[in-house]
């Protein structure tokens, strides 16, 4: 008849495991129901090894070009598409540097255009419109212009950012062309006003009745010119500036209007 004394059973187990502390551990661990092999009615789920987060340089595929690696950068891809070109970048650090540099470049361009467009005296826009729809010409600061051009501040009747920049650059180009033409014509008119023939005809009219009895010789003409120049340079006279400004304004306005009527490229 078997013994059922618990103390005796514990003593027997202690004697068995004294020699090897690990001998009492079962060789096979009980498995969870879902991890049983399919043969026992469970689910046999294989596991795949995940790649490391940062691949070592030796693991890089040499068949992938630098341009393809740059295209894989999510932020660089649309920017390069907008630039209409491709750049060589070997890693994400190069791509991040490129994005920051592009942002600084865009900032400098927008700030420069804002300064130029807000100088209405030097950048006249003769293309009259009932509505000013170029955000770069609305006398806004940089932060506001940035929000209007690229974010939620954009109005449905504002030019898109590329169109606004293109129009502003076109205005600058038209201003330079009109300014150059106006200066050239103004100097030509001034030079013509100081031609010997025109000055002599004017000097004759300065002479009084008794002086007309004798012809105006070279010495007399030079003396008259000296008086003429002295009066011209005095603070009393503004004719020189007025003549230049009048011719300049007329030519500038005419050339600028002609440029504004040209079809956009």
Weakest-pLDDT range from 10-14, 139-143, 257-261: 10-14
- pLDDT of amino acid 191: 95
pLDDT at 226 over 70: yes
pLDDT at 204 over 80: yes
- pLDDT of amino acid 75: 73
Task: Indicate the residue among 119, 147, 170 that finishes a domain.
Answer: 170
- pLDDT of amino acid 228: 92
42: in domain: no
- Between CA 96 and CA 102 the distance in angstroms is 10
Q: How many domains does the chain have?
A: 2
Look at 88 and 110; give whichever has higher pLDDT: 110
Say yes or no: 156 and 230 in one domain: no
220: in domain: yes
Token pair recorded at residue 215: 């012809």
Which domain does 85 fall in, by range? 63-170
Say yes or no: 120 and 133 in one domain: yes
How much is the pTM? Answer: 0.63
Say yes or no: 226 and 214 in one domain: yes
pLDDT at 113 over 80: yes
């Amino acid at each position: 008849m078997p013994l059922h004394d618990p103390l005796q059973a514990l003593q027997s187990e202690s004697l068995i495991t004294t020699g090897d502390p690990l001998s009492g551990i079962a060789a096979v661990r009980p498995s969870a129901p879902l991890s049983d092999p399919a043969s026992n009615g469970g689910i046999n789920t294989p596991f795949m090894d995940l790649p490391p987060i940062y691949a070592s340089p030796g693991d890089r595929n040499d068949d992938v070009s630098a341009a393809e690696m740059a295209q894989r950068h999510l932020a660089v891809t649309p920017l390069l598409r907008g630039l209409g070109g491709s750049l060589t970048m070997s890693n994400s650090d190069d791509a991040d540097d490129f994005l920051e540099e592009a942002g600084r470049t865009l900032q400098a361009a927008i700030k420069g255009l804002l300064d130029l467009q807000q100088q209405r005296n030097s950048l006249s826009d003769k293309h009259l419109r009932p509505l000013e729809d170029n955000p770069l010409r609305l006398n806004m600061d940089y932060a506001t212009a940035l929000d209007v051009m690229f974010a939620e501040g954009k109005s449905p009747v504002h030019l898109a950012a590329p169109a606004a920049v293109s129009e502003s650059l076109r205005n600058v180009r038209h201003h330079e062309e009109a300014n150059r033409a106006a200066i050239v014509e103004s100097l030509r008119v001034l030079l013509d006003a100081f031609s010997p023939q025109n000055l002599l005809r004017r000097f004759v009219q300065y002479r009084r009745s008794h002086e007309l009895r004798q012809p105006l010789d070279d010495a007399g003409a030079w003396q008259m010119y000296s008086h003429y120049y002295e009066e011209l340079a005095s603070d009393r006279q503004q004719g020189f500036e007025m003549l230049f400004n009048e011719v300049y304004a007329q030519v500038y306005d005419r050339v600028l209007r002609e440029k504004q009527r040209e079809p956009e490229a």
